[in-house]
Every structure is written in C-alpha cells, then in structure tokens.
Structure 1
Amino acid sequence: MKIFKPLSLLFFMIITACSSVSVHNDYDKNVDFSSYKTFAFYKNGIDKVEISDLDKKRILKAIENQLTAKGFTKSENPDVLVNLFTKSREQVDVTTFNNGWGYGWGYGWNPYLWGGNRTSVRTSTTGTLFIDLIDAKKKELVWQGEGVGEIFKNQKDKEKRIQEFVTEILKQYPPEKK
C-alpha cells in the first residue's frame, strides 16, 4: 500500500504534465487596456480559419464566456475585435527499449526477453491557438495570446481541451501593469 500511493501520485503528475497548455502573450505597452469594455468577433478573419465550423463555434463560445467573466459585453459597436488563428502539426515519437545487455543478458536476465529491443511509436497532434484583440477604432493589434498543446480527436475531450486552451490564454489578459 505504501508503494501504491507514490506510484499513483507519479502517474497523476505525468498525466497532468502531458495535458498542459503552454501559453505566451505579446501586447502594446502603450495601450490602456482598462478602457476596453466591449467586444465583437472579427468575422472576416474568423471565416478564414481552416478548422471545422463545430470547432470554431466551440472556440468562440469559450472566448465569449471568458471575456464576459472578465466584465466585457458583446456589442455591435465594440472597443475591441476578437480574431483567432490556428495551426497544427503531427508529431511522431519513437522510443526503443533495451531489455538488457546484449541479447537479454545482464541484470535480471529473463529468457522470455531474449532478442533485446522493443520499439514503441506514438503519434499525436500539437495545436496552436492564437487569440488576437484588435483596437476597433485604430484597427491595430493591441494584444495577442498564444496557447500550444496536444489536441484530441474525440468530442468529449476536444470540448474540454478547447476550454482549457482559451482559459489559459485569456488568464494573461489584461497584461499586468509594471
């Protein structure tokens, strides 16, 4: 039982580490972000994003929820326009395990492992989501958030993952005053 607890904790830490989203942002340091109170989606830009309409809806809904929680109001005459951009790449990880020295000889020699190496191949998709905030009057980009992480194919995990991406990215808005 004593071994089980550390192993389960280690397993949880590995699973948590694999599901994280790496986030970054950039912004115009001369902008007063407290003056922005309303938003709208930049339809022309969003229409060009090459993902399914279902995923677009999921992302837009998650962004709307996060901005509303920050005190923004959706408006026909917005202070900022919200745009997004996505990209993805397939990643292939190949791992070879050596079962001992030589042909199975070495510490803990096991005749069933005769022949040495095993190879494991894992494929995954890494996605990047950019969220842009554009000053509606000046038509200038004032803030950009970026999230990078593994994306999932099944619907249930995909919805959670999109929410995680958007939440983590928009945690960085507004930028901290220095």
Structure 2
Amino acid sequence: MIRFLKFIVLASMVMMMAPGCGSPLKVTTDYDKHVDFTKYKTYRINPVDVRLDAVSQHNKDLLRAAVISEMTKHGFAQDTLKPDIIVNIVTVIRQTKESMAVTDDYAYGGMYRPYYWNTSFGPPVYTTSDANQFKDGSIIIDMADASNQNLLWEGVGSAQVEQPLTNPEGQIKAVVKEIMKGFPPGKTKQTKN
C-alpha cells in the first residue's frame, strides 16, 4: 500500500513537471502609453549587445536580420542617418543551476494508525537530491525615440537555451516574431511578405 501511495505521489509530480520540460518562450512587453506610434516611420538598429555569455557572430547577424524583417513587415523603413526610432538588441545568456531535495519519512504512531508515511514526525528514511544545470537565455528588444532617447517600447523573450541550436535561423526568427507581435501598439499591422 505504501509503495502504491509513493508511486501515485511520484507520478503526479512528474505529470505536473512535464509541461515545463519544453521550456516555452515567456514573452513580456511594455510601452509608453502616452506615445503615438503612428508618427514613427524609420529606424536604425544598434549593434547587438551580448551580456554574460558569448553569442556567435552568425547568430547576432540572424538576430539582426530577424528584427529588420519584423520592422519591415510592420511598415518601418531602415534609415541610418536620421531615424525616428533607435532599436537596441541585447542578449543575456547565463548558466543556471536548479536543485531539488526530497525527504521521505516513515514513522510510528499517530493519525489513528500504527504506521504512516510522509509526516514530520520520526527520523527520515532517505533524502534524494537532484541538481540540473542549464542555460537561461533572454533576448531584449527595446526601442527609443531618436530625438530624446526616451524608451518607447520593450519586448523580452526568455527560455532555456538548447546547445547547439538545431535550426538557428528558424528558431531566432520565431522568437523575434513572437516578441514583436504586439509592436507597434495601437497601430494596425501591415502585412508584407
């Protein structure tokens, strides 16, 4: 009976954790609600800024190309001399460690039974621990007004990074598209292919 209860608890824990194994992209965006985004027509992209861990030049180029593609789809033109918006791209990749310890008890007495499982009474039978290391990555895309450097819009996408990327071009395009799908706020999206 106790083995069955342990199995049920373990199975339910595995089922609760299973959806998180794919590490879906978490996207957050924020913008200045007092800004009329329809007045902005052109942009310039600053060089990609890499924080904490190296990103290859190839992936930086793919990231830049994906942002250019999304800006073009949203009706913006690239202008390096007199842009309306300055686009900054920052990547942050850091090694993260996750630890978990589980202690099971088997004690005598209480709960109207002579023996019971998993309480705080009695000595622990065993403790298991597990450490998992992974890379946590974020792509931050922010846009500032070129005339006064005020932040207009910011999008952040975060997920666990698989090494190496299996399809860098496709994965980077998909992430940038997801981050920028709400940009520009309050403006009807133009679709150009």
Structure 2-normalised TM-score? 0.63
Q: Which residue of 2 aligns with 1:171?
A: 181
Q: Which residue of 1 aligns with 2:50?
A: 49
| 2:134 aligned residue (109, 124, 130) | 124
- Opposite residue 31 of structure 1, the aligned amino acid is V
Could you tell me which runs of 5 or more consecutive residues in structure 2 were left unpaired when the two chains were aligned.
1-14, 107-125, 188-193
**Cα distance in 1 for residues equivalent to 2:32 and 2:102:** 49
Kindly state the Cα deviation for residue 150 of structure 1 after the two structures are TM-superposed. Answer: 1.3
Shift of 1:152: 2.1
- 1 CA distance for matches of 2:23 and 2:73? 24
Q: In the alignment, which residue of structure 2 is the partner of 1:91?
A: 96
Rounded to whole Å, the distance in 2 between the matches of 1:22 and 1:176 is 22
For 2:155, the equivalent position in structure 1 comes to 145
User: Over residues 33-73 of structure 1, what are the superposed CA-to-partner deviations in whole Å (9 max), with x where a residue is unaligned?
Assistant: 11112111124xx3x43433222111101111111111111
Per-residue deviation at 1:140? 1.9
Higher helix share: 1
Mapped partners of 2:128, 2:25: distance in 1: 31
1:28 lines up with 2:32 in the alignment: yes
1:91 is displaced (CA, Å) by 2.7
Partner of 1:66: 70
Closer, same or farther: CA 19–143 of 1 in aligned 2, 3 Å: same
The number of residue pairs the alignment matches comes to 153
Q: Is the 8 A contact 1:28 1:143 kept in 2?
A: yes
Deviation of 1:146 (Å): 0.9
Which consecutive residues of structure 1, in runs of 5 or more, have no partner in the other structure?
1-9, 102-115
Q: Distance in 2 between matches of 1:124 and 1:28?
A: 34
Q: In structure 2, what is the Cα distance between the partners aligned to 1:135 and 1:23?
A: 22
Query: Could you say if the C-alpha distance between residues 122 and 157 of structure 1 is closer, same or farther in structure 2, counting changes exceeding 3 Å?
Result: farther
Q: In angstroms, what is the RMSD of aligned CA positions? A: 3.1
Report how far residue 97 of structure 1 moved. 8.4
2:143 maps to 1:133: yes
| Structure ID, larger Rg | 2
Q: Distance in 2 between matches of 1:30 and 1:117?
A: 55
Q: Using the TM superposition, give the Cα deviation of residue 94 of structure 1 relative to its aligned residue in structure 2, in angstroms.
A: 4.7
**Retained in 2: the 8 A contact 1:152–1:161?**
no
Compute the TM-score of the two structures, normalised by the length of structure 1.
Answer: 0.68
Report 1:75-86 matches (<5 A): 75-76=79-80, 77-86=82-91
Q: Which amino acid aligns with 1:161?
A: Q
Name the SS for the 1:29 alignment partner: coil
How far apart, CA to CA, are the structure 2 residues paired with 1:156 and 1:75?
Answer: 33
